[in-house]
Amino acid sequence: MAHRWKNTLTHDDVTPRSAFLNRRQIMAGMAGMGLAAIAPKATAASDLTPTDLDVISQYNNFYEFGTGKEDPARNAHRLTTAPWTIKIDGMVDNPGDYDFADIMSKMTIEERIYRFRCVEAWSMVVPWNGFELKDLLDLAGVQSSAKYVAFETLYRPHEMIGQQAPFLDWPYVEGLRLDEATHPLTIMATGIYGKDIPKQNGAPLRLVVPWKYGFKSIKSIVRITLTDKEPPTSWNKAAASEYGFYSNVNPEVSHPRWSQASERPIGGGLFAKRIPTLMMNGYEEDVASLYEGMDLAKNF
């Protein structure tokens, strides 16, 4: 695998906003990846101020631990994350159970600052650590007949107490088209702010697709399946009229129960000013070509 840039800042270095992934570091690193053109927008846009770690880790949706925003932080300590394996199967040349520690030894960890937009119309800016999903798929050897990637979350109701309630069909599942999954912006996150990802945020690894609503970024992944058919996804199964397969951030398409034209940044207080939502969460220039010719209002 070609070596990618690895940021060497420590956690103490990255905590001050001015020190975290400055534009010069990103441009130098991305140039070596052949991705310099997308670096300012995708990774270190000057208008992105990361949300504080305590906010990121205390306000989130992870229904496997409860439906309240504080429930994941309250209940996720029960989760056992080591040892951890990811089954990769389906249309791959090298199917099997991949040990998480072994995967990490083969990957170059990068630091990416991404906008994060929830379908509930709140948002954050998160400094993730992780690796491109494409690198993991390359390790498994994707076959030419594969068109989609399906993901599955851990099912362990005695630890993930939210799974004891049947409001979703557990385990949680998600999916991407293969070209979405292999896009350079799509990462498997293993940390936040240079630290291991908190359990309530999807430890030990989760998907991050920054131009899609947050529920697409499935957490605590234990299985990845390559397939030639569009896979089922949990929220689409639960409410197909509200949650589509693509779920690209789109301010022009309202949720049936609220507008998506604006969002509330979390961390700015109860009366934080709402801001306009950007098409594809600000990554339109990078990913719009994936959907050329599609009606994004119908294929939501």
Ordered by where they begin, the domains of the chain are 11-117+127-242 (3.90.420.10)
> Strand order in 221-227's β-sheet?
96-99, 85-90, 221-227, 148-153, 173-177
Give me the amino acid identity at 41.
Answer: K
The pTM (predicted TM-score) of the whole model is 0.86
105 contacts 241 by C-beta, under 8 angstroms: no
**Is the predicted pLDDT of residue 1 greater than 60, yes or no?**
no
Q: What is the pLDDT of residue 16?
A: 30
Residue 12 pLDDT > 60, yes or no? no
Q: How far apart are CA 137 and CA 226, in angstroms?
A: 9
Instruction: Give the C-alpha separation, 176 to 188, whole Å.
Output: 13
> What pLDDT is recorded for position 23?
34
Amino acid at 298: K
Position 291, amino acid: Y
Reply yes or no on whether the pLDDT at 39 is more than 50: no
Q: What is the pLDDT of residues 210-257, one digit of tens each?
A: 999 999 999 999 999 999 999 999 999 999 999 999 999 999 999 999
Distance CA 291, CA 286 (A): 11
* DSSP letter, residue 68: S
| Residue position matching structure tokens 């690193």 | 29
Tens of pLDDT, residues 249-279: 999 999 999 999 999 999 876 677 899 999 9
Separation between Cα atoms, residue 166 and residue 2, nearest integer Å:
44
The mean pLDDT of the chain is: 87
pLDDT band, very low/low/confident/very high, at 298 (cuts 50, 70, 90):
confident
Q: Which residues pair with 207 in a beta bridge?
A: 188
For the residues 34-55, what does the mean pLDDT come to?
A: 58
The rounded distance, in Å, linking the Cα atoms of 54 and 266 is 11
* Residue 100, helix vs strand vs coil: helix
Spatial contact of 128 and 189, defined as CB atoms under 8 Å apart: yes
DSSP 8-class letter at 229: S
Q: Given this model, what pLDDT does residue 270 score? A: 65
- Residue 225: what pLDDT? 99
Q: Which residue has the tokens 């989609």?
A: 148
Distance of alpha carbon 236 from the chain centroid: 18
Task: Choose the weakest-confidence range: 43-47, 92-96, 158-162, 284-288.
Answer: 43-47
Hey, which bits of the chain come out as E strands? 85-90, 96-99, 110-117, 122-132, 148-153, 173-177, 187-192, 195-196, 206-208, 221-227, 262-265, 275-276
User: Around Cβ 4, how many Cβ atoms within 10 Å?
Assistant: 17
Give 99 or 40, the one with higher predicted confidence.
99
pLDDT at residue number 299: 87
- Residue identified by tokens 């690796």 is 131
What span, in angstroms and rounded, lies between the C-alpha atoms of 235 and 140? 28
The per-residue pLDDT for 48 is 77
Per-residue pLDDT tens over the stretch 46-97: 467 899 999 999 999 999 999 999 999 999 999 999 999 999 999 999 999 9
- Distance between CA atoms of 37 and 76, rounded to whole angstroms? 39
